[in-house]
Amino acid sequence: MPPFTHLLGPIVSAGAGKPQTRMTRRLSITRALIDQLPPFLHFEQQLDPGVDDGMAMADGLAFQDRGFSVATRYTFEIDCRKSPEELWDAMHFKTRQHIRRAEEKYTVKSFDDPIFFVDNYLKHTSALGRTNVMQFEHFPGLYSACRSRQCCEIMAALDSDGAPVSMTYLVWSDRTMYYLLSSRRPDPTDNGSASLLIWSAMKLAHQHGLMFDLDGIYTSGAARFLSGFGGQLKTRLIVRRSEAFFHAYKLLTLQSLRSGTGSEQFW
């Protein structure tokens, strides 16, 4: 999928009728779209479960029928159309404690500067000893396009010196706000800046009358942390299909990396 795109369609209007009629019609349309795909070695897409009131989950059946494998990933979704008081009460008491303590130490501020976000994201990633895999050369253009449509926000939790402790990049549609990107500097004394930013994002989603998607759970530790914000567990579908040559390419690339030659030199 394109850089920074975590979910895609297809967007299909299943029309009116009973649920069975709409599902049958959607399956037919999606299968017809799949049949128009050009030749490929590898196809992978994460479907958006929020499109068409959940009917998009039926797309998994259409892809499966055309020989794709279908797997699941998970996320938490919070209904921020509720009042801030309801959202606060729904959180785990320890999560609320972390937010209160963070509010005493940090100030949350919005920034209209994509380069500032990228610089601090890379700085935090390097300090944590992690390799950056994001294609940030595309980020300023992405930010500019979203900003012109008034559907994004850069937020930071700042320490007393004005330095970012945590940062997040939020984007939203007319239905859902997504916690798309986040970073945090390694600080053993900080156990609440990320929670404070999520709470700030929840309040912003409430102002816009939106759902809030925490945008993916990849570890059990992340699941424990994110579950404290009172959201509902939601399923996302991943569809994949690869040709034999692609599997051979991946195997040879892995062998080259293990041997230390690197994939570019290997090929």
**Using one digit for the tens of pLDDT, what is the confidence trace for 67-83?**
999 999 999 999 999 99
Delineate the domains of the chain, giving CATH numbers in brackets. 19-67+237-266 (no CATH), 76-230 (3.40.630.30)
Give the residue carrying structure tokens 């950056």: 132
- Confidence bin at 265 (pLDDT 50/70/90): very low
* Of 133-137, 148-152, 191-195, minimum mean pLDDT range: 133-137
Give the residue carrying structure tokens 């816009």: 208
pLDDT given for residue 63 in this prediction: 95
Report whether 220 contacts 79 (CB < 8 A).
no
Closest CA to 240 of 66, 2, 50: 66
- Give the tens place of pLDDT for each residue, 5-45: 989 988 888 888 998 998 999 999 999 999 999 999 999 99
What gap in Å lies between CA 175 and CA 172, rounded to an integer? 7
Angle between helices 114-127 and 139-148 (to 10 degrees): 140
Closest CA to 213 of 201, 222, 221, 224: 201
Tell me what percent of the residues of the chain surpass a pLDDT of 90: 68
pLDDT given for residue 264 in this prediction: 40
Report whether 124 contacts 185 (CB < 8 A).
yes
- Give the tens place of pLDDT for each residue, 166-186: 999 999 999 999 999 999 999
**CB under 8 Å to 58, separation ≥6 — which residues?**
23, 26, 27, 30
Kindly state the average pLDDT of the residues 241-261.
Answer: 72
What gap in Å lies between CA 155 and CA 234, rounded to an integer? 25
Question: What order of strands is seen across the sheet that includes strand 152-158?
Answer: 42-46, 232-242, 69-79, 211-213, 176-184, 164-172, 152-158, 107-111
**CB under 8 Å to 29, separation ≥6 — which residues?**
12, 14
Burial of residue 3 (CB within 10 Å: 0-12, 13-18, 19+) is exposed
First vs last Cα of the chain: how many Å apart?
24
Tell me what percent of the residues of the chain surpass a pLDDT of 70: 93
pLDDT given for residue 151 in this prediction: 97
Beta bridge partners, 232, equal 77
Report whether 47 contacts 237 (CB < 8 A).
yes
pLDDT given for residue 51 in this prediction: 60
- Give the tens place of pLDDT for each residue, 94-135: 999 999 999 999 999 999 999 999 999 999 999 888 888 888
